[in-house]
């Protein structure tokens, strides 16, 4: 009954290190998303995935890598962390993008607070 979970919830790392944030959903939703939230910017889309093995860039993809080998998992990797990547990261999922002209809501995980020193 977990829904969508993220791990770790808090992470401190150093500049230049590789960091992977995990996201797991139990709803079998087709779509999954990664957002970052910074003060004054609302949420910004980093990457999204429409299905397993299908991923695409969002608004701010530079410095991030994603993969989706299984429907339920969507890890986000910072290959070489920078201070500007200090942020709160949210994973989200939705059933589909649209259905019958209706846009489906996205359900969010609890977030990961990442600090890059």
Partner 1 sequence: AQKITQTQPGMFVQEKEAVTLDCTYDTSDPSYGLFWYKQPSSGEMIFLIYQGSYDQQNATEGRYSLNFQKARKSANLVISASQLGDSAMYFCAISNDGYQLIWGAGTKLIIKP
Contact set with partner 1 (CB under 8 A): 31, 33, 40-45, 48, 50, 58-59, 88, 90, 92, 94, 96-98, 101-108, 110-111
Q: How far is the CB of 80 from partner 1 (least distance, A)?
A: 26
Give Cβ neighbours of residue 79 (< 8 Å, ≥ 6 apart).
Answer: 18, 63, 64, 65
Decide: helix, strand or coil at residue 89: strand
Record the tokens describing residue 86, joined without a space: 């200090």
Nearest residue (CB) to partner 1, 15 versus 96: 96
Nearest residue (CB) to partner 1, 80 versus 96: 96
Cβ pair 61, 49 in contact under 8 A:
no
Q: How far is the CB of 79 from partner 1 (least distance, A)?
A: 23
Nearest residue (CB) to partner 1, 43 versus 65: 43
Q: How far is the CB of 20 from partner 1 (least distance, A)?
A: 21
- Residue 66 CA, distance from chain mean position: 8
Question: What residues are paired with 70 via a beta bridge?
Answer: none
């Amino acid at each position: 009954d977990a829904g969508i979970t993220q791990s770790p919830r808090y992470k401190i790392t150093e500049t230049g290190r590789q960091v992977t944030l995990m996201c797991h959903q139990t709803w079998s939703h087709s779509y999954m998303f990664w957002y970052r939230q910074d003060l004054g910017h609302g949420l910004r889309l980093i990457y999204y995935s429409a299905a397993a093995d299908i991923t695409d860039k969002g608004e701010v993809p530079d410095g991030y890598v994603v993969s989706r080998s299984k429907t339920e998992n969507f890890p986000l990797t910072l290959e070489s962390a920078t201070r500007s990547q200090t942020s709160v990261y949210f994973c989200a999922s939705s059933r589909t993008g649209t259905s019958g002209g209706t846009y489906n809501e996205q359900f969010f995980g609890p977030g990961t607070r990442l600090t890059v020193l």
